[in-house]
Amino acid sequence: MKTKLIYSLIIIVFAFIGCSKEENKTNKKAEVRTNYAHQATVLEVIHVTEYTYLRVKENDKEYWIAAPKADIKEGTVINFNQSMEMKNFESKDLKRKFDTILFVDNLDAKLGVGALNRPMKPNIEKENIKIKKAADGITIAELFANPKNYENKIVKIKGKVVKINSGIMNKNWIHIQDGTNFKDDFDLTITSNQIASIDEIITVTGKIILNKDFGYGYSYKILMEDAKIENSNKKSKMMSM
């Protein structure tokens, strides 16, 4: 009788320990799920050149987010923490205006067991051009060959505008090329309050910053910030993606 009682007590103890472990696992899972500031379900997906626009529902609230282009489908549950809200944002690609939209640089998204793909970076091809170096300036190849020599210094570069993203974080983001390259680097991104046109030849002067990460899909190993643009008579102008 005593032996049976002891065995019964042992079984109860192990059962209690097992329940405690399961409860701990459940709590840990809950902690993971609630570790994000926002969790929402995707209701609508619109892809443009470099971004994916998502209409989502969080609890009873519906709103729009924009993230670096990724393979997300309706019904996906997304999680995110940091975001940047923009009001009265106009998308030129979509030809529509959002009263408010959140820009998110890092989404954790799952559909069943599938995970969100990495954001797709824009593909910029090298132009077959040859542009004379600016007086007292440097070439893009010289900059990429010795970036440390120019870090935090003001430099001047002449090049052709090959791509523009305007009105992002209150700046215009302009890509230029001059026909030179160092290894696989041939394109320089600058930020400016001025604007230029695609295919325009401009001379830019600004500070060189290395390894700059703005978040929201904008990370650069070499960036020219707050550049002044010559050979462009256009007034400062902010457009949208």
Q: Which pTM value belongs to this model?
A: 0.54
Q: Which residues of the chain have pLDDT under 50?
A: 2, 5-6, 9-17, 19-34, 111-121, 233-241
Please report the pLDDT score of residue 18 as a whole number: 52
pLDDT digits (tens, 9 = 90+) for 112-135: 333 333 334 456 889 999 999 999
- Contact assessment for residue 90 and residue 96, using Cβ atoms and an 8 Å cutoff: yes
Domains, the chain, in order of start with CATH, read 38-115 (2.40.50), 140-230 (2.40.50.140)
pLDDT digits (tens, 9 = 90+) for 72-117: 888 888 888 888 888 888 888 888 899 999 988 777 765 433 333 3
Please report the pLDDT score of residue 202 as a whole number: 96
CA distance 93 to 191: 21
Contacts 24+ apart (CB under 8 A), 167-176: 167/238, 167/239, 167/240, 167/241, 168/218, 168/241, 169/84, 169/214, 169/216, 169/218, 170/238, 172/237, 172/238, 172/239, 173/218, 174/204, 174/227, 174/229, 175/124, 176/140, 176/202, 176/204
Please report the pLDDT score of residue 215 as a whole number: 64
